[in-house]
Each structure stands twice: as C-alpha cells, then as structure tokens.
Chain A
C-alpha cells in the first residue's frame, strides 16, 4: 500500500488541458424483508452472524432460491431509469476468493442483466440538465463484512486478525452502471454528485431501499480517466479514453464530488510527469481528502463468469413489467417542481429544503396541518441545526411530523412564541410527551389576558421615562427596549407583537 502523498496539479490547470471521463457504479442494498437467495432477515446492526443459514454461509450442499420481491424491485429501478427490461435473463457466478465471500463466488449477473440501456436526467446547481446514460442495472448478492483488527489502516494488510460478519452476506444488491460520462468538463465532479443524489432520491421514492450512504446501503465506485483535449474544432469524442482508476466505496455525496475532483488532479500530475496511469482500485480517505492505491486491476481480471446452474432463468412476464411500470411513483424531479409551486417556495428556499433532505418531512408536516412556510422554517432551521449538531439524520431525530405540525399550529394560534416553541420541542425530545402535553406541563403559554399585558406595559413605561420619551419623539426603534422589559415582566410568556402594538399606541 502506498502511504506517500501523491503529486497533484491544480484543478483549473488540469481541466484546462484534459477532458475528464467518468463511469459510476452504484450499489443499492434493497430493503426486502429477506435476503436475495435465502429466508434470512435483512437487518442492519444486528449481533454478528445471527442472521445466517446454510445458504448464505455457503455450506456444502446449500442451494439458492431467488427472492421474488428483489426481482420486482430490480425491475422497478430499471423502469425508473428508463431501461429496457430483459424478458429472459440469468444469474451468473463471479468467481474470486475472498474470506468474506461464503462461496468464493458471488451470484451476480453478467452479460444478461435484468435492466439495460436507460438514462437519468440530472439537474445541476445552475438549473441545467445533464443526461446520464445508464448501461445496465443488475441483481447480485452482498458479501459478508470484514473487520480487520490491529494494524494501522483497518485493511487486511497488516491486520493482527480479521473477523467476518455474514449477516450482510446475501443481502440483495442492485448494481447500477453508467456508460462513460463525457462532456461534463470542469463540472464532472458536480455531475457525479448530482447523479448519485438524483439516483438516491429516485430509489428512495421507489421505496425499495433505505439508500443510507452512511450505513452503506448505497455505495458508489467512481471510475475516472483523463484524455487529452481535442484541439480547436477537433472532435473530443474521437479522442481515445485514457486509463482509468476505480475509487471504491465513496460513501457520501460530498465525497463523491471530492474524490473525483482529487483523482482528476492526481491523474493530471501523473500524465504531466510523463508516466502513465496504473489501472487499479483506489481507496478514498475522507480525513485527508486523498485516495491511496489499492490493488492493481486490469481488464485481464478474470472472474470466470458462467451462468449460475443452481438457478433457473428469470423471465418476467410482460404483464408483470407493465404492472410494475404503472406502480412507479412520480419522478422526484417532477415532484419537486410540483411541490415548490404548491408551497410557494423560492428557488433558493427549495434548494435549502432539498439539501436538507427535508422534502418528505415537509410534505408530511404540511399534510398534518402545518403551513408550508412554517414547516420549512422548522425543518431547515431549528431541526436541521440540532440534527447537524448531534450528527443525526433529520428523520432519525426523534420528532414526528405531527409534532412539528402541532408546534407550528400553536405558534400560529398565538399560544406560543418562537422561543417557547423551542422549549416545547426540548420537552418533546426529552420524552415528556406530545407538544400540547409538554406546553401544559411546563406551563408555557403566551399571556392572552390583555389586562395583564397592559398592566405590564404601564409599569415598564412608568419605570423607563427616558426611553419612553425617545419613542414619543419618534424614535420607534427605541420601543424594542421597552418590549424586552415587558417580556421580562411577564417571564417571556408575552406576545411580543401585541406588546409592541400596545406600547406604540400609548406613546404615539
């Protein structure tokens, strides 16, 4: 393993002289109840080796049986990616030895994928569209998970010993492979991120996977190569592709962008030095923002594929495919446009919502009775901030969309002000109950009694004559100090707007 730092050239410099070409392979773990070829449960985070059986442990004599739901999910993904669906296809064995592969072959698909020849239109930051051509989507099984103990790198080389958890072995995967993505130029890293993001949204909308990159239920391998730029008037597509490297297991959207950015700079440096790119797999390091050399990989890598004789061919009936096509949800991009119009968000607001991953949450919150503006404020503001601080996903944050709708309603009804609503949220998160219960129990309620408010206002004006005079002289901003005093007087439970109104009425 290489530990030395590779030379890189500046990104703009690299892009000025080279044309980057990418190929993205995304693995999506399906959320079927059982594994691809056996009846074991697909549970994330269970005790190691508790969801295993003779089939997924590769015991002698065990045989696979295809999970129908997984095939349907694969077809739905294929259809959503505008692919053709094979009317007859087979599984194939991909033969190679590795300790976390129970059979030392992976049951996959080779030259007969379930879905092929599709595309996904991806929206970039400036609103333009890039069409990603999809070569294929095929079904396969996941491997076990190795834990290499000891040694500096957490990799098998140099480890004291390794542990293998076969709970993951046999979990259904769909591998989605793009054609070489050309023409993105300097925007290549952005295109890659936008594609993986769009794919994630699409798969999520289909409901066939949790697509949690941080949990590994969606993983991206990024192939990058550089080729010389065609001269003026030259046909860039006529320039042959350069040698590629494959950066494995890039596990966040940001990393996809960064890893490709890095590889472009590194390739350029290698090519500048007159050396040639070594065809190999590379590992992405989030902390250093760099890749390191993995194992050499060449086209001569020989997996000795042959059709899996233990399985019968998969031949989905045309009616089934049509049925699945009709069951497809609204495409995410289209849905986003519809919701933005419904909610009346600006482009900037909508982008915030998308980046926060809050569309579904806002939709549900609005469905639960919140205003669109209120829901957005909560999810992209207070909640996003808290989730971020705790390193949690928004949906895992422990507050329901009904709670947020209730909070929003209480603020709208004038029962709570914003700071009180935040206190109620604290109570909800602390398990004190639903928002109304928390507000009741904590005695949080705006003072609705105008008499009490008026008394407080009078008292504050009387005690702050100098400030009151400024307001009387037309310096309306000075009223702020008086409002603050009123709030203090009423222990924060006053309606600030009403207090202001009353102060101004009395002084002007």
Chain B
C-alpha cells in the first residue's frame, strides 16, 4: 500500500506515492536525489540527517515521509541560492568548522534553528544547542566558533555587506 504525499522541498512542490514506512531521509536522498543530507546512525543520536521542517530542525531519519505531508522542508541544498553561501556556511568555512564534512549539513541546519530562536547565543548555549549533533573530526571547538561567528554576521549582516 502506498500513500500520497505532497511536500514543499526547498521551495518546490513535490508529490509522490510512498510506502508508509519510508523514512523522510530516504525520501530526500533516494526519491528526490537530494544527497546532501547524510545518514550517520539509526537511533536518532547523531543529528547528521537534520533538516528544517516548517522552520524547525528535525532528524529526518526519525520522521516518516507521510508525517511530512503538507509541510515545508529546507535541506542543505536549499539553504542559500545556487552558487551562494548562507552566513552560517560562510562562517563554517572561515572558522574551519568542518573536516570530513559528513556531519556538516546536519550541524548547519541545527545551527540555523538555534540562531533563529536565539540570535546571540553564549558559547555555553551554542554547545548545549549542538548537543544532538555528533562530530568525530573537529572536537567541536571550531564548530562552536563558527556558530558564534555566524551569529555576528547575521546580526550585523547589513553593515558587513556594505563594508
């Protein structure tokens, strides 16, 4: 039995018939071919598969595609316009907040949600906010620095651009 879903992904409306058990992350990766969202575990621990669902960070390995029906999703591919970088992406680049890059899309989507709800977080709040995302390469220090840098860029974005 398949069920119809209609989901807006990175601004484009998608309609498919899916198995009720199909995980959202597999829908994104295999049905839509959006492989920027990675899968790092199967127990909701690592946060690698984090995407924004109606603006909130969710672990897409723990959401069924049918649960995302009628929602609006943003994945790493849709965060900035083609050929552009979002300030969080720029900050991760600037601060060396990534090494192998596998956890990076999930980290960035989580940081998006974090900065949306708390635009000027303290370092402690950043570390707490990233607790659901694992990184095995960076030791987190430069990820924390990147999120802090991004907060600054987003708050002072207009000034920076004119400078």
Does B associate with A? no
Chain B positions within 8 Å of A, measured between CB atoms, are none
